[in-house]
Amino acid sequence: MKIDEIKATLASFPYPDGWWVVTGAAMVLYGIRQEAGDIDLGCTSELADKLQADGLLCGHTSDGKRKFLCAGNIEIFEGWLCDRVETVEGLPVISPDGLLQMKRALGREKDRRDIEQLLSFLSAKT
């Protein structure tokens, strides 16, 4: 998904608040990469309660938090936030520092490549 597709998908997302963009889609919104495979969101516990009440398919992460799968390639993770949320392209997005913390914690091969790109992005900002 390129930036325009991410923005259009989230513009039609039926929940107006209580969420923020994380992982690959956040990197696209910051201009660090060109595409993401899907959109991952973090959300508040209040929004997770609403999603569950609305019947969205719910599973759990290894730490017991809820995760949901939505139409439009959106996966939502309860409470997944490091650092803070910023506004980027008119959308709530995890900060670059928080994104770096997430990618380091995930530690997958693709995250290692993202970490290098994030470090370059952060060093260019200072």
Answer yes or no: CATH 3.40.50.10680 is held by domain 3-120. no
> pLDDT (tens digit, 9 = 90+) per residue, 47-79?
999 999 999 989 999 889 999 998 778 999 999
Helix residue ranges, H only, 12-125? 23-30, 45-53, 96-106, 109-125
Query: Coil, strand or helix: which one is 34?
Result: coil
pTM: 0.93
What's CA 98's distance to the chain center, in Å?
11
pLDDT (0 to 100) of residue 23: 93
**Could you tell me how many residues make up the chain?**
126
Residue 77 and residue 60 in contact, taking contact as beta carbons nearer than 8 Å: no
Element (H, E) at 8: helix 3-11
- The structural domains of the chain, with segments of one domain joined by +, span 3-120
